[in-house]
Amino acid sequence: MRRTPHRALAALAATMLAVSGCSLPVFAPGGDNSAREQQPGGGGAPNLSWRNCAEIPQQLYGQKAPRMRYECATIPVPKDWNDASNGQTFELALMRVRSTQQKDRIGSLLINPGGPGGSGIDTAAYLSFGPQVQGLPTEILERFDVIGFDPRGVSRSSPVKCISDADLDASYGSEPDPETQAEFDEIVALNQRIGAECGTKYGADLPLFSTEQAARDIDAIRAAVGDEKLTYLGYSYGTLLGATYAQLFPQNIRAMVLDGAVDPQQGMVAGSESQAKGFERAFDNFAAWCRATAAQCPVAPDARATLNELLDKARATPLRGADGREATAGWIFYSAVAALYTELYWPELGKALGALRDGDPDPMFELADTYTSRTDQGEYDNQADALLAVNCADSEEQVTPEQVRTLQQEWEKKYPLFGPALAMGMLGCAFWPGARDPYPTGPARGAPPIVVVGTVGDPATPYEQTAVLAGMLGTGQVLTWEGEGHTAYPNTRCITQAVDGYLIDLTVPAKDLRCPAG
């Protein structure tokens, strides 16, 4: 269930604008999209042909950010870095965001939003809107070219797509805690079918979507944009990608911020259990907020009891939404998951559960769809496909359906809301046909200090993993935010100042610095 913190970027931007009371003026995309630019040195390597692509933020968010230029390019990389001479390549899509107010340019800041499966291009476009929507700070935007890229297999970069919209609907809507063996077997069969169809379509290419292959792509991007050293900001799964790069190319790092740490040493089972614990804790924090602010939370005083009641009712007689979907326990579960990624969605979760209790499932579906990336037309992008392809390629640990069934029942006792579903989520890789290509787990010898940021209330990458990742790398420096939600930068002044000082001046935050929630 590891996901990008910005996977619902448009919805999140709208929420932030509403909260802040700000509004952005609408700007039409400017310039000729066919324009090409080739610059040596820091402005881009000669083999990159940049074109104006201001249409991307316009399409995503209805506008482009003021005083920002958007340029896109593609770069070929070997399909298999272990056999780079065979001539087979993937095409990686890049976006460069450059402020028209740029001064004292340091270089490029490469962004990965996580997932795996999140689009770095979409995220770079979003972050370019700056502090008013919790995008990047103005000083960062004026000192760096922001480079977003879609990793191999993701969105615009040779995307892997092998799961039908119908099967994704069935997967998200399926019972998160199947009681009978027949219910369990139905979900097993769905995962078997998905694995078989992806194997038929991609075959021997499936392991090529691994994290280590993508980390080697990053070094090709660094060289292509003309940077001698890499400056990198990775969120969530992006911390795993960055940590892998740090082990492979420690001498090529200028600065690296890893926010929402993944522990690379955890296997699939340990990682899933860690997330189950993290989401339970986050829901408890939501429920406590609900009790304390009952006027804003229709399901106060006991949000957990209300959610359990709604799940039980959905199992017996699910309501039907305006689009015809049944509001099954699976969809309700994912609406809760979506809201726990950011504290800004806590009021929305309370309202959605209250509306569901009153007979209207549509607000719940709206929340769930921010997590699943389902459109109003019932279509999906390829984030779920890419997540499965990358996670399964990475994992040496393989579980059987029998092990999953056992863990589902054990975790139901320890983590009653989220444990069973996290166990069931491992079925996807149980039937994945591709070979495995696990990433390295060890120190980044020779790397400069790497800032590893953790959020105390993070559900998806629990805080405990922060110090573990920093310790594994050897040069990691822990920075803590005592807040809620998934990832921290740039949520508060304290976090922003610490990270900005490091990215700009290479000033490492004070040892074990803890930033308050407010």
Q: Rounded CA gap, 293 and 295, in Å?
A: 5
Contact 115, 108 (CB under 8 A): no
Choosing from 174, 236, 274, 335, the catalytic residue is 236
Q: Rounded CA gap, 390 and 132, in Å?
A: 33
Phi and psi for 425 in degrees, rounded to 5? -60, -20
Is residue 6 part of the annotated active site? The answer reads: no
DSSP state of 31: S
> Token digits for 501?
């000082």
Contact 206, 198 (CB under 8 A): yes
Q: Cα separations (Å) of 57 from 26, 64, 170?
A: 11, 5, 31
With H, G, I as helix, E, B as strand and everything else as coil, classify residue 516.
coil
Is residue 236 part of the annotated active site? The answer reads: yes
- Torsion sign across C-alpha atoms 217, 219, 224, 227: positive
Contacts of 14 (CB under 8 A, 6+ apart): none
Contacts of 66 (CB under 8 A, 6+ apart): 25, 27
H or E element, residue 409: helix 401-414
Q: Is 312 exposed, middle or buried (0-12, 13-18, 19+ CB in 10 A)?
A: exposed
Choosing from 369, 395, 486, 500, the catalytic residue is 486
With H, G, I as helix, E, B as strand and everything else as coil, classify residue 215.
helix
Q: Which of 316, 277, 274 is nearest to 417 (CA)?
A: 277
Choosing from 122, 227, 385, 458, the catalytic residue is 458
Contact 14, 62 (CB under 8 A): no
Contact 13, 129 (CB under 8 A): yes
Contact 327, 333 (CB under 8 A): no
- Residues involved in catalysis: 236, 458, 486
